């Protein structure tokens, strides 16, 4: 009893309060997204808002259990958990159920279990454990290589499930490596690759290659024309051209048709108001119709009449935009960003490398989910199907995000005892 009292006394209650506020707000909007004249009961457990109450109760129980576990458990079992989740992801490829084109789920009775949601916090634990090892220096090639393997192995298995949205989240862990001393050149290369990706899809590839050659010639003409500079410029040109051709091949031959459609619609290359572009168009209408203060709770017409598919999951933000308006959306964003800032501040005060890396991993995953989910509802990101943390309907995602956050709050509560 004394030990539990000591632990709970050290818990960061500001983070817990923000978490609870987001849970409550999320449940309200799930209820609103399901509400109609025939479905008005608050505690109808046959509906999604009723099931979400069960998931919230389970998440709070899991959070309590995590807080009373000794912090050493998470570090000691990091690699075992990582090995277990990798095996589970492999089994999923063989026996998992396909939903919306992705083999991401196990069926357990009336509920579904998505291992990739748990792979996020487990991968962060394994990465933190490795980088906390004695005499590990991120500047060495071997350390970088092993760190990228830890991140990329679950990412590749999730790509094989045809779940590119979740796979993309794992790339956010590179930001954690950057905080720990990874060269900024890696981020620069990533930015250049993103620009090449967009321009390649917007322009004819041969016209774009011609532009790249012209830019390379101009760079060489305005340089000191030394052999070393020529080799660097030529190497950059070769890599850029190779990237353009590779991307063109992937886009035409590897990506699923619905993924190609969504990217084309985002970039304005296609307009399909009755097909792949329907969700986005209806989402924009819902958010725009909310105005400054919104139509009012349970008064959203786009929401009540089911114009937006998946409005309780991936498109939950358009319910917020329609019924709570710009002002309510801004308040929600402020609360979520406050949680992100709080997690980063807690991460910075850690005395242990393991705890700091895990904290930054939590912030990175939550931020990418938050940014992409809102971005895809307003047309700034492709529709790739990732939930809004603590808000969207779903048991696996809610429990997974809860574990992700509360492991860090557990570690933070022991920060004065953890020296490395």
The number of CA neighbours under 13 Å toward the Cβ of 108 is 9
> How far apart, in whole angstroms, are the C-alpha atoms of residue 235 and residue 237?
5
Of 8, 124, 34, nearest to 393 by C-alpha is 34
Helix residue spans in 171-315 (DSSP H):
174-179, 184-202, 205-221, 227-253, 257-266, 278-289, 301-304
Q: What is the pTM of this model?
A: 0.84
> How far apart, in whole angstroms, are the C-alpha atoms of residue 205 and residue 185?
26
> How far apart, in whole angstroms, are the C-alpha atoms of residue 399 and residue 285?
31
| CB 279, CB 306: distance < 8 Å | no
Number of H helices, E strands in the chain: 18, 3
Mean pLDDT by 10 residues, the chain (420 residues): 61 95 94 77 81 94 94 92 94 79 73 86 95 75 87 90 84 84 73 74 75 81 70 80 76 67 62 64 84 87 73 87 92 96 94 91 95 87 84 92 96 75
pLDDT at res. 2: 47
Q: Give the single-character DSSP code of 306.
A: T
Cβ–Cβ contacts within 10 Å for residue 83, how many? 12
| CB 198, CB 188: distance < 8 Å | no
Q: What is the DSSP string of 362-394?
A: HHHHHHHHHHHHHHHHTTSS-------TTTSS-
Residues 6+ apart with CB under 8 A from 272: 261, 265, 278
Two structure tokens written together for 59: 């998440």
pLDDT at res. 383: 76
Q: Rounded to the nearest 10 degrees, what angle do helices 205-221 and 184-202 cross at?
A: 130
| CB 157, CB 86: distance < 8 Å | yes
| CB 339, CB 366: distance < 8 Å | yes
> How far apart, in whole angstroms, are the C-alpha atoms of residue 74 and residue 373?
29
pLDDT at res. 80: 95
> How far apart, in whole angstroms, are the C-alpha atoms of residue 282 and residue 240?
37
């Amino acid at each position: 009893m004394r030990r539990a009292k000591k632990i709970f006394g050290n818990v960061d209650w500001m983070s817990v309060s923000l978490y609870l506020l987001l849970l409550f707000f999320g449940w309200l909007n799930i209820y609103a997204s399901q509400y109609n004249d025939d479905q008005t009961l608050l505690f109808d457990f046959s509906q999604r808002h009723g099931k979400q109450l069960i998931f919230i109760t389970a998440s709070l129980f899991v959070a309590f259990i995590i807080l009373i576990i000794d912090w050493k458990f998470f570090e000691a079992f990091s690699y075992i958990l990582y090995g277990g989740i990798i095996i589970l992801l492999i089994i999923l490829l063989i026996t998992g159920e396909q939903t919306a084109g992705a083999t991401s789920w196990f069926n357990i009775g009336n509920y579904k279990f998505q291992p990739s949601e748990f792979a996020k916090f487990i991968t962060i634990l394994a990465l933190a454990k490795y980088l906390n090892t004695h005499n590990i220096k991120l500047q060495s090639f071997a350390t970088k290589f092993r760190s990228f393997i830890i991140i990329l192995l679950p990412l590749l298995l999730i790509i094989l499930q045809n779940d590119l949205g979740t796979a993309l989240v794992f790339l956010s862990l590179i930001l954690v490596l950057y905080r720990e001393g990874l060269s900024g050149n890696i981020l620069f290369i990533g930015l250049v690759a993103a620009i090449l990706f967009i321009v390649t899809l917007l322009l004819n590839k041969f016209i774009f290659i011609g532009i790249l050659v012209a830019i390379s010639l101009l760079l060489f003409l305005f340089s000191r024309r030394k052999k070393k500079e020529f080799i660097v410029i030529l190497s950059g040109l070769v890599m850029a051209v190779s990237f353009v051709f590779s991307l063109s091949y992937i886009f035409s031959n590897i990506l699923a048709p619905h993924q190609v459609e969504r990217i084309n619609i985002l970039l304005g290359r296609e307009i399909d108001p009755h097909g792949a572009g329907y969700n986005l168009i209806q989402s924009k209408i819902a958010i725009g119709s909310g105005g400054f203060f919104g139509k009012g709770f349970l008064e959203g017409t786009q929401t009540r009449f089911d114009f937006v598919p998946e409005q309780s999951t991936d498109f939950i933000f358009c319910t917020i935009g329609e019924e709570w308006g710009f002002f309510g959306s801004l308040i929600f964003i402020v609360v979520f960003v406050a949680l992100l800032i709080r997690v980063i501040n807690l991460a910075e005060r850690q005395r242990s490398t393991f705890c700091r890396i895990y904290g930054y991993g939590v912030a990175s995953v939550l931020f990418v989910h938050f940014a992409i989910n809102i971005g895809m509802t307003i047309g700034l990101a492709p529709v790739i199907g990732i939930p809004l943390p603590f808000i969207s309907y779903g048991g696996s995602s809610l429990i997974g995000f809860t574990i992700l956050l509360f492991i860090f709050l557990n570690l933070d509560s022991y920060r004065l005892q953890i020296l490395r």
